[in-house]
Amino acid sequence: MTRPLKPAKEFYTESEAAGYLNISVLELHALLDQYIFNDGHARPNDLSFSDADLVLLGFWSTGKESPKVIRMPRRD
């Protein structure tokens, strides 16, 4: 019988997430402010991130356009 795979960690701190993405914590904050907390609400302190969050943040951090991905419009 096979067991489902569990991620190494369930949640990552800001510094762990930044390290995983090979960016600084300040760059992580800039990504969050640009793509997530851009509707007038302030970014909370001490955020934690899941594996899915890291995938999305990694996509945003590369900055490369892909014809296979449709970007959501900014909420201005």
pLDDT in tens, 5-17: 666 788 999 999 9
Model confidence at 47, in pLDDT bands (50, 70, 90)? very high
- Rounded to a whole number of angstroms, the distance between the first and last alpha carbons of the chain is 50
Contact present, 16 and 10 (Cβ < 8 Å): no
Among 43, 15, 40, 16, smallest CA distance to 30 is for 43
**pTM: predicted TM-score of the whole model, two decimal places:** 0.74
Residues 59-70: pLDDT tens digits?
888 876 666 666
